[in-house]
Amino acid sequence: MSQQQTVATDAVTDPAPGTAVTTVAKRRDWWRDAVIYQVYPRSFADSNGDGMGDLEGVRSRLPYLRDLGVDAVWLSPFYASPQADAGYDVADYRAVDPMFGNLLDADALIRDAHELNLRVIVDLVPNHSSDQHEWFKRAVADGPGSPLRDRYHFRPGKGENGELPPNDWESIFGGPAWTRVPDGEWYLHLFAPEQPDFNWEHPAVGDEFRSILRFWLDMGVDGFRIDVAHGLVKAAGLPDLGAHDQLKLLGNDVMPFFDQDGVHDIYREWRLVLDEYAGERIFVAEAWTPTVERTANYVRPDELHQAFNFQYLSTDWDAEQLRTVIDRTLEAMRPVGAPATWVLSNHDVTRHATRFANPPGLGTQIRTAGDRALGLRRARAATLLMLALPGSAYVYQGEELGLPDVVDLPDEVRQDPAYFRGAGQDGFRDGCRVPIPWTREGSSYGFGSGGSWLPQPAEWAGLSVEAQTGDPDSTLELYRSALAVRRAQADLGTGDRVEWLKAPEGVLAFRRGEFVCVTNTTAESVSVPVHGRLLLTSGEVAESDGEVKIPADTTAWWTTA
């Protein structure tokens, strides 16, 4: 039996299914230390064999998430959509796209989740709609001068005949951020042309989204993840940016279309709506900002509850860099009384099992089997480090299986808009969205009976839930053990401080009450003092004469109790 499984079994007595989750669900401020699992519906579970995941598939797998030990489920968009950007182009915010089911399926999912003491957070996309949204179709049809165009950003072009875009802004997916309609005017889209940006200066937009919030709150959802929360308000006059490579500025500098101060007025109004409802519903911001201090503005007491820590997600596997971003994050959140919110992977970034295998800047290049093993070892260690930090944590579906990105997808199956638009982007997001494997066999390893919308590698049979369940050395059992230990240890979860301990170069060591975490980010084994009773490790360790030898890229947890 592995060290991982031995210490976890010693440390935790398994409760009856759902018991531990119930304790968290009934406690006030549940979101301050919650572990929230992101479900990408089209890639989670397919109930009808059409190769595409759906809400009924998610519903059928909820017991798995309960037993994994998470507190809540965040569902990426399942609204009615032409699917130009995987559902982030919404045509109807109050309807479920038929590919995912219908409103009755959504209702049943929410009810079943609550029966299992899992909360449900849904995605909200307020920066832009689909170009097939009724508002936008009517605005285009009515022509220049229509008041309906004021709900979006329509402008005349520059040049002698208006043939040039109104300004120099570039789309996040590459190319100009403006598209011309047949009558000669241009409309703004910070993402794909099928995603026109709303004009949040228009009162009808705010009215509509407050109504949308109430619609889903009345359905029973426990909160909203706000897509592009930093992008709703644009600088007055839509001024030129003047940068030659705008993509390099994203998340690193102040921009006239991101992180404008006016967004905070919107979220204060939204908070008033949310507070009308019982049950501690929450808002989570996807806010790409230049600094964690700017991110903290989104989680002031009268605004949102959480904001993803993208500075942490973007940090290399390096002890000094990690300590710096941890300290800065905790310091930034402390004055506003908000929890830090840690994340390592999501549907928009390279999975950390692949990211940590590569030197910085190499992205998703194909790696050797040895490099893939290195990435997984670091990913396991990084997960234990993240779950030991104060605050809330997010887990992206499949990371608990140690899934890497699929980097060799055929061109003809790719669907990421960034891949087709080019401009230096490689469409990498498809690689982290491949449907996850549930069984060793089958046309899609248990995802569904009719294959999968993106092809899965043959080696994923060995990474499936079935293959890993009961294997004490598997990544899935490591996650299950880690979440059980985290729940059992009173000093883990909520809080805003760590006590750093003396450690060798390249090693992070900190104490939180009676709990101690040590992470070795180096390529060599290191010896550290025994810090009490060993709870859990991401790899084998050796203990003798009052010291513990921690291998390269390994994390260990202790308790002094």
**Residues acting as catalytic residues:** 227, 276
Can you spell out the DSSP letters for 329-352?
HHHHHGGGTPPPEEES--TTS--H
For 132, phi then psi, to 5°, come to -100, 5
What pairing do the DSSP bridges indicate for beta strands 547-550 and 526-529? antiparallel
Structure tokens at 374: 């290195």
- CA 396 – CA 347 distance, rounded (Å): 7
B/e letters for 155-173, b = 16+ CB within 10 Å, e = fewer, are bebeeeeeeebbbbbbbbb
Crossing angle for the helix pair 3-11 and 475-488, to the nearest 10 degrees: 30
Q: Is 352 exposed, middle or buried (0-12, 13-18, 19+ CB in 10 A)?
A: buried
CA atoms within 13 A on the CB side of 381: 31
CB 263, CB 439: distance < 8 Å? no
CA atoms within 13 A on the CB side of 419: 17
- CA 111 – CA 100 distance, rounded (Å): 17
Helix, strand, or coil (residue 432)? helix
- CA 179 – CA 556 distance, rounded (Å): 53
Q: Position 526: which residue type?
A: V
CB 285, CB 304: distance < 8 Å? yes
Task: State how far the alpha carbon of 2 is from the alpha carbons of 51, 470, 539, in Å.
Answer: 37, 12, 9
DSSP letter assigned to residue 90: -
Altogether, the residues listed in the chain come to a count of: 561
- CA 304 – CA 298 distance, rounded (Å): 6
Residue for token digits 């043959």?
A: 458
Name residue 306's beta-bridge partners: 284
- CA 1 – CA 520 distance, rounded (Å): 23
Cα 438–444–447 angle (5° rounding)? Answer: 45
Q: Of 255, 128, 140, whose CA–CA distance to 191 is shortest? A: 128
Helix, strand, or coil (residue 120)? strand
Structure tokens at 291: 């600094």
